Structure 1
Amino acid sequence: MPGHRSITEAEKLAAQRLGGFPIRRDQMAAVANIHRAAAAVRQHLENSVLRGSDLTWTAFVVLWVVWVWDESETRHVAEEAGISKGTLTGVARTLESRGLLKRAGHPTDGRLVLLSLTDEGEQLMQRLFPKFNEEEAFVTGQLTDDECRSLADMLRRVVLQVEDHGEERRQSLLDGAEPAPRRSGRRPRA
């Protein structure tokens, strides 16, 4: 089983493996490093700041979304957090049981559920976010303020490319067919 490898080593191994393929290496490196950076930052923040408050990354993101947007419909919270409605249901129940989040029915549409922070949830975010932001500064410590702004702008453009043109691209790649259903990783029963 291979041990921990550096980014440089992983890039060299990928280049060796893909030597004969006609690929766009710069784009491959950009996307691979977006993933690596996101995973490294997430793990660091979970292990440094969030663990002390017994929060996962996803739970923190849900609290953040509700904190920023105030009372919100679950579908909007799930979308903003980048998670499925099913995942949100479990996270919201956990946060509700801890007294950080409350759920309420929509005043005009009984099918919808609204989420808001409790006073305890509000206090937690006011205490926790400055610590979280200190670690955001730590993980970007090798970048100047201008580089941080430039990086944020470039990543925003990547997100906008997918948001604005991703569906059209998927339809083109699939010749208009619906994508295959997502799999949980389990094999179908015989």
Structure 2
Amino acid sequence: MHRRSLPPPTVEEKPVSGPRRSITETEQAVRRRLGGLALQHEAMAAVGNIHRAAAAVRQHLENSVLRPHELTWTGFVVLWVLWIWGEAETWSVAEEAGISKGTLTGISRTLESRGLVSRSAHHEDRRRVLLSLTPQGEKLMEGLFPAFNAEEAFVAAPLSAQECLQLADSLRAIVSRLEEHGEQRRRELLDGEKLAPRRSGRRPRP
């Protein structure tokens, strides 16, 4: 089972024209639009709200405690992984952070240029790269994380301590489900076909 530290994708702050639709308004619109289809609406509501909550929390944290330190969400996650697990190979850090090795390369270089992360060759194979926090990186995380946790408490304020634990257990069950059975499910859906390459969504140039 993979260790998971913090969840993935940077959500940029964008100007919104007009009032933003609430989660209740969105759920009502979905019911109106899809009410005639035979769907598992409870599962749809749960997964949809996981996505919406994750995006909202991430945006709040990026635009509050992380911005003064000029950190993106993904940059913070990389620092968190190294702070918790210590020195690690790049492939392991990328897996823990839920990003590609290519994305990690760019982020780690930025963090290295700021003196927060150091790179070194593996003692058994110099082609393998190790990442670790510098003393400056350690100091940043020790000072930053209490403020980060204070915002976690702000986000979770509508829930009691017991409800927070119940929510954590429920989300842990979903993550475990995907870790244990997700790969097999994806193979079944592909029915022997190879997974298509990821597309950016842009049209190919003529």
- Give the TM-score range, shorter chain: over 0.9
Match of 2:51 in 1: 35
1:111-122 mapped onto 2 (5 Å cutoff): 111-122=127-138
3-state SS of paired residue (1:114): strand
TM-score (normalizing by structure 1): 0.97
Which residue in 2 is equivalent to 1:133? 149
1:70: which partner in 2?
86
State which of 24, 34, 38 in structure 2 corresponds to 1:8.
24
TM-score (normalizing by structure 2): 0.89
Provide structure 2 residue ranges, at least 5 long, that are not aligned to the other structure. 1-16
Residues 1:83 and 2:90 aligned together: no
1:91-102 matches, cutoff 5 A:
91-102=107-118
Pairwise CA distance, 1:186:
2.4
More helix by share: 1
Deviations 1:95-145 (A, max 9, x none): 000110011111102221110001110000000000000111110001111
| Equivalent residue letter for 2:143 | R
Give the % identical residues: 65
Runs of 4 or more consecutive aligned structure 1 residues displaced over 4 Å after TM superposition: none
Aligned residues: 190
What is the CA distance between 1:2 and its match in structure 2? 6.6
In the alignment, structure 1 residue 18 sits paired with structure 2 residue 34: yes
Structure 1 position 78, deviation (Å): 0.6
Partner residue in 1 for 2:60: 44
Residue type of the partner of 2:72?
T
| Structure 1 portions without partners, runs of 5+ | none
Quote the residue 2:173 is aligned against: 157
Give the RMSD, CA atoms, in angstroms. Answer: 1.1
